[in-house]
C-alpha cells in the first residue's frame, strides 16, 4: 500500500470520525490501579470509583461555548475524588518511599490543543492532578518537579499540608513489611498495599499502581489524567510513568485518550499509552483491540505487567490488563459499568 493511499485512508477516517462526533454520547472512564488487589480492598476501590464517576460526570454535559473542555474538568474532578480516598495509591493513601515519605506525581492532557501539564516529587499536597493542570494553564512549560514544583503549587494557592499528613497507617505497615523482606533493588517489584507485600518476590505482576481517568464530552473533546504515589520502598526522586506523556497518559481529539497503570518502569520502557494510540491511528484498531494488544505485547516482550483504559475518538471504550486484577468503571447513557476481575463486569444505574 502506497503512502498516498495510506494518507487518503487516514484523512477519510478522520472525516468520518469528526462526523460521528455529532452522535457521540459523553463517557467518563476511570481506573483505580492494577495488580494484586485483595478481596478486602476490592469493594472499597469499586465504591470509590463509583463515587468519582457520580461526582464528575456532570462536567461532560456542559454545552456552553467556552474555551475549556468539559472532558478536562471531568477527568480532573474524578481523579481529585480518588486522591482523597485512602483505598487508592494517590494523594491521601499514597505508598511511601524508602525514607517513609510520600512523593506524589500526576499528569493531565487536553486532546483538543494537545496541551498538557505534569508534576512530580511533590510532598504534602493532596491534589497533584490540579497542580498539573495549573502548570498546563498558567505556565509556558509542560513539566515541573521537585522543590520548584512545590513552590509553584504554593504560589498558586495550593495548601501545603502538615508534614506526613498524607501518610496512612496502612502505608506505614506496607513499608515496614517491605523492609522486613529485605528485597534487593534487582529483585524488586512494586507494592502499593499491604496485600501486595507477600507477593513481591514470587510474582512481580502483583501490585496496584495509580488512579486515572479518560473522558469524551458532548463536543467530542477528549482528556486524560493520571495520579500516583508511586511504589513502596522507591528510591528518593524516583519518577514513574504516571507523570510522563505517552507512557502513563495521553489524549488527542483525533485519536483518543489513554491512562495506564501497573509496573511503571515497564510502562515507561514500552511507552504504553502511545503504543495504544498508534494502534488506533495507524492500524485502525478499535479502542478495545488496541488496548488489549498493546498490554499483551508489553508483557510478552518485557515480562512486566500493567493495564490501561482508553476512549477512542469515535466514543469506543477499551479496558484491559495483564495483572491479576484492575479496578475500572465508566459512566455512559445513565449507567455505570464496572469490574475488577477478568471476564466479569457489572452494571447499575448512575
Distance in angstroms (rounded) separating the CA atoms of residues 205 and 189? 8
Q: By C-alpha distance, which of 83, 330, 41 is closest to 206?
A: 41
To the question of whether residue 301 is assigned a binding role by annotation, the answer is no
Distance in angstroms (rounded) separating the CA atoms of residues 215 and 60? 8
Looking up cell 520502557 gives 269
Strand (E) or helix (H) holding 269: helix 264-270
To the question of whether residue 238 is assigned a binding role by annotation, the answer is yes
To the question of whether residue 261 is assigned a binding role by annotation, the answer is yes
Q: By C-alpha distance, which of 79, 256, 265 is closest to 275?
A: 256
* DSSP summary character for residue 26: P
Whether 322 sits among the annotated catalytic residues: the reply is no
Classify 227 as helix, strand or coil. Answer: strand
To the question of whether residue 36 is assigned a binding role by annotation, the answer is no
To the question of whether residue 325 is assigned a binding role by annotation, the answer is no
Strand order across the beta sheet in which 104-110 lies: 143-145, 115-122, 104-110, 222-228, 210-216, 27-35, 325-332, 335-341, 346-349
To the question of whether residue 198 is assigned a binding role by annotation, the answer is no
Single out the catalytic residue among 174, 210, 249, 305. 210
To the question of whether residue 127 is assigned a binding role by annotation, the answer is no
**How far apart, in Å, do the first and last CA atoms of the chain sit?**
46
**How far are the Cα atoms of 84, 151, 220, 340 from residue 81, in angstroms, in the given order?**
5, 24, 24, 19
To the question of whether residue 318 is assigned a binding role by annotation, the answer is no
Strand (E) or helix (H) holding 73: helix 70-83
The three cell numbers locating residue 207: 501490585
Please enumerate, by residue number, every residue annotated as part of a binding site for substrate: 238-241, 261-264
Please enumerate, by residue number, every residue annotated as part of a binding site: 238-241, 261-264
Would you please indicate which residues are annotated as catalytic (active-site) residues? 210
Amino acid at each position: 500500500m502506497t503512502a498516498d493511499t495510506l494518507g487518503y485512508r487516514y484523512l477519510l477516517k478522520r472525516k468520518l470520525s469528526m462526523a460521528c462526533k455529532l452522535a457521540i454520547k459523553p463517557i467518563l472512564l476511570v481506573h483505580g490501579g492494577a495488580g494484586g488487589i485483595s478481596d478486602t480492598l476490592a469493594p472499597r476501590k469499586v465504591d470509590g470509583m463509583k463515587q468519582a464517576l457520580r461526582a464528575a460526570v456532570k462536567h461532560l454535559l456542559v454545552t456552553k461555548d467556552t474555551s475549556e473542555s468539559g472532558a478536562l474538568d471531568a477527568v480532573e474532578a474524578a481523579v481529585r475524588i480518588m486522591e482523597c480516598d485512602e483505598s487508592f495509591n494517590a494523594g491521601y493513601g499514597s505508598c511511601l518511599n524508602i525514607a517513609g515519605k510520600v512523593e506524589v506525581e500526576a499528569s493531565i492532557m487536553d486532546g483538543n490543543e494537545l496541551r498538557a501539564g505534569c508534576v512530580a516529587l511533590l510532598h504534602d499536597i493532596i491534589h497533584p492532578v490540579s497542580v498539573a493542570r495549573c502548570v498546563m494553564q498558567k505556565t509556558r512549560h509542560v513539566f515541573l518537579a521537585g522543590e520548584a514544583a512545590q513552590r509553584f503549587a504554593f504560589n498558586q494557592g495550593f495548601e501545603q499540608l502538615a508534614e506526613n499528613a498524607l501518610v496512612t497507617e496502612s502505608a506505614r505497615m506496607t513499608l515496614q513489611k517491605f523492609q522486613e523482606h529485605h528485597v534487593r533493588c534487582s529483585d524488586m517489584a512494586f507494592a502499593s498495599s499491604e496485600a501486595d507485600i507477600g507477593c513481591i518476590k514470587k510474582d512481580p505482576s502483583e501490585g496496584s499502581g495509580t488512579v486515572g481517568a479518560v473522558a469524551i464530552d458532548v463536543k467530542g473533546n477528549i482528556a486524560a489524567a493520571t495520579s500516583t504515589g508511586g511504589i513502596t520502598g522507591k528510591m528518593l526522586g524516583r519518577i514513574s510513568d504516571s507523570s510522563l506523556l505517552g507512557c502513563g497518559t495521553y489524549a488527542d481529539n483525533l485519536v483518543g485518550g489513554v491512562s495506564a497503570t501497573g509496573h511503571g518502569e515497564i510502562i515507561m520502557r514500552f511507552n504504553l499509552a502511545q503504543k495504544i494510540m498508534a494502534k488506533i491511528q495507524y492500524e485502525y484498531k478499535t479502542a478495545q483491540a488496541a488496548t488489549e494488544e498493546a498490554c499483551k505485547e508489553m508483557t510478552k516482550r518485557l515480562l512486566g505487567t500493567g493495564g490501561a483504559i482508553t476512549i477512542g475518538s469515535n466514543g469506543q471504550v477499551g479496558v484491559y490488563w495483564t495483572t491479576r486484577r484492575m479496578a475500572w468503571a465508566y459512566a455512559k447513557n445513565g449507567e455505570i459499568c464496572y469490574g475488577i476481575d477478568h471476564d466479569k463486569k457489572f452494571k447499575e444505574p448512575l
